[in-house]
Amino acid sequence: MPLIRDKYRISQADDNVTLYNGTAGQESNLAKFICPDRTAFEIGPEDIFSLYCASTTPTEVASTCLVKLTHEDPNGITVRQLALVNYTVVTEFKDKLKLFTVGQSALIKPKDRLFIKINGNLAAGSAQTQFQISTTRIAESLKI
């Protein structure tokens, strides 16, 4: 069957995303994306990663907090770091001149996981977390 490739943005609203409340002062998960069956996602060097993160008050986390984007196999044995930056680097969602690009390629296969992690000065609230990761979705076309 032929493959269909289309641009896709993974965000907090995606059905395959789980959001978490972060813990202040230690690295903690903010979001987990699990790649669905019969689908793959390709992240290229030009794809973007943006994040807004705040506590439940809501107070935005400090600009110097470390943010990490990782790709893991289904068993969590192979972990690849795709980004490790200060929070201030990934806060832009609109200005094309300021958007953070991942800068490397990754193929996210079925059941693989993407994690957004933060080591913040505040406990991040899941209801205040917003993000986007641009990708190319790869899936088989339906035979009709």
Which range in 25-29, 31-35, 139-143 is most confidently predicted, on average pLDDT? Answer: 31-35
What are 86-119's pLDDT values in tens digits?
999 999 999 988 899 999 999 999 999 999 999 9
Q: Which domain holds residue 122?
A: 14-137
Instruction: List for the chain the helix, strand, coil content (%; round to 5).
Output: 5, 50, 45
pLDDT exceeds cutoff 70 at 144: no
Q: CA 89 to CA 67: how far, in whole Å?
A: 9
Residue 60 falls inside a structural domain: yes
| Whole-number pLDDT of residue 141 | 77
Provide the token pair at 9: 């943005």
Mean pLDDT of 27-32: 95
pTM: 0.92
Q: What is the mean pLDDT of the chain?
A: 93
Residue 2 lies in a domain: no
Say how many domains are in the chain. Answer: 1
> Does the pLDDT value for residue 143 go beyond 90?
no
Looking at the domain assignment, is residue 9 inside a domain? no
Evaluate whether residue 4 is within a structural domain: no
Does a structural domain hold residue 73? yes
Task: Quickly state the pLDDT bin for 1 (edges 50, 70, 90).
Answer: low
